[in-house]
Amino acid sequence: MEKPFDIQLERLTGQASYSRPAAMNLASSQERGTFFLETFGCQMNDHDSEKVAGVLLARGYRQVETPEAAGLILYNTCSIREKAVQKVFSRLGEYRTKQVEGKIIGVLGCVAQQEGEAIFERAPWVSLVCGSASYRRLPEMIAQLETGNHRVTGLDTDTDETFETEMTRRDNPFRAYLTIIEGCDKSCSYCVVPYTRGPERSRASDSILREVRQLAELGYSEVQLLGQTVNSYADPTPRKMRFAELLLAAAEVPGIRRVRFTTSHPSDFTADIVQAIDSQPKICDHVHLPAQSGSGKVLREMQRTYTREEYLEKIAMIRGARRPIAITTDIIVGFPGETESDFEQTLSLLDEVRYDSLFSFKYSPRPNTAALRMNDPIPEEEKGRRLAVLQEKQREIQTARNLTLIGETVEVLVSGKSRRENQWSGYTSSHRVVNFTSPAKELLGTYVQARVTGATPNSLVGEHAV
């Protein structure tokens, strides 16, 4: 259910009487030099937070578990759908009644970029607003606040500073995320990302591979290359490495056993990526290829740059690989003007592709996007109905697909241990969750063979094969 907007916070808009205590030295001595960081949204945001934490830790800050214990409170935010933005403002609204004297409250990420200085009006206790391209400047911005500046912003979008943070504090001990391309040059009519994350910038291939080698030396065996359109990667160095070559080069780094990548854009998805997966088993057999809709008309209105037929050609290319490759997708229902027949074409796309998993969303109008001005909005209840129908269909497909795996043996990178005895979990190369039993004492971070004995729509059940 959608959360109602935080009305009290909205009422504060334009309130001029609130003033921040100017002297930051009011923070108690325990809180000084500590930060709390909460992250909303996608893997790119999770990874950005790892970089922010790294930058602060390198400057001697200490991370704490609660905002109460922190001198610096940061929210790394998401604005992909209105619900995500509401969540952020409702979190900020909690400070209306909290003691914030002496603390610095900062908004980072996509809401920061989208709303800019308007955040100061909506939540006057915020004094720092910083988009993802300016994180390296955070210590300097915090220093400005500490020396009496009232409010600071970092809202540039065209720098590539984010790639080269000197330290990244990684949260996931089993999988290391690595941004290889920032921003987006596509212009899907519903999407706010080109606005919040700016134009596409690719990171130098030698710098990416250097980081992969460092990660392997630190003990990571799985890396995931990230980008909004990861396969649009364009190496800025004279080497001009293609994306598929980069995947192969990363897989060849000693110690690396799995290379993942997400998210791929169908228009830039080329045959050499499939060949790379075929020729190198360390490149994971999983492609996330957002279709968004199965209707050619809606795809055109969405400015997705491909037709249904062209999308299906890419699927055929992936299905033609020698290794079975899992395919997952994103679907938006209720785009303006989506008729019942358009929606049925999306359902038929699900039947045709038989995705291994999908993320589905109700269309949410976003500021600064072309679709905002489109006629024929779909009522919320109808969007909800379509979403439920779509999810039910996918549930059936997933159950059937997972059932076919019973009896197979799959390799699992173990990343979880249940409180229940002998119960472990992890991911296959194809990104399926496997919950399995094993009498072993310690398996975390290791690769084990599991025999699949059961299946649910969202996971496999198995036992350690010895």
- Give the footprint of ligand 5AD on this chain (CB under 6 A): 80-81, 190-191, 290, 292, 330, 332, 361, 363-364, 366
Contact 3, 83 (CB under 8 A): yes
CB closer to ligand SF4, 104 vs 180: 180
Contact 388, 382 (CB under 8 A): no
Q: Which of 184, 274, 277, 331 binds ligand SF4 (CB under 6 A)?
A: 184
CA 384 vs CA 302, 334, 458: distances in Å:
20, 9, 21
Q: Which does 363 bind (CB under 5 to 8 A by kind): ligand SF4, ligand 5AD, none?
A: ligand 5AD
Distance CA 259, CA 311 (A): 24
Residues 366-385 that bind ligand SF4 (CB under 6 A): none
CB closer to ligand 5AD, 5 vs 361: 361
**Using rule CB under 6 A, residue 193 touches ligand SF4:** yes
CB burial of 439-457 (b: ≥16 within 10 Å; e: otherwise) equals eeeebeeeebebebeebeb
Residue 266 CB, shortest distance to ligand SF4, in Å, is 10
Contact 264, 297 (CB under 8 A): no
Give the nearest residue (CB) to ligand 5AD.
Answer: 330
CB closer to ligand SF4, 149 vs 267: 267
CA 61 vs CA 34, 58, 107, 349, 402: distances in Å:
5, 7, 18, 50, 46
Q: Which does 361 bind (CB under 5 to 8 A by kind): ligand 5AD, ligand SF4, none?
A: ligand 5AD
Q: Which does 24 bind (CB under 5 to 8 A by kind): ligand 5AD, ligand SF4, none?
A: none
Residues 212-231 that bind ligand SF4 (CB under 6 A): 228-229
Residue 141 CB, shortest distance to ligand 5AD, in Å, is 28
| Cis previous bond, 263, omega within 30 | yes
Number of other residues whose CB lies within 10 A of the CB of residue 240 = 10
Q: Which does 80 bind (CB under 5 to 8 A by kind): ligand 5AD, ligand SF4, none?
A: ligand 5AD
**Using rule CB under 6 A, residue 186 touches ligand SF4:** yes
Measuring CA to CA, which residue among 128, 125, 159 is closest to residue 141? 128
Distance CA 124, CA 9 (A): 10
Q: Which does 450 bind (CB under 5 to 8 A by kind): ligand SF4, ligand 5AD, none?
A: none
Stretch that binds ligand SF4, among 143-151, 191-199, 333-341, 428-436 (CB under 6 A): 191-199
Q: Which does 107 bind (CB under 5 to 8 A by kind): ligand 5AD, ligand SF4, none?
A: none
CB closer to ligand 5AD, 163 vs 190: 190
Residue 63 CB, shortest distance to ligand SF4, in Å, is 30
Residue 193 CB, shortest distance to ligand 5AD, in Å, is 7
**Using rule CB under 6 A, residue 300 touches ligand SF4:** no
Site residues (vs ligand SF4, CB under 6 A): 184, 186, 188, 191, 193-194, 228-229, 265
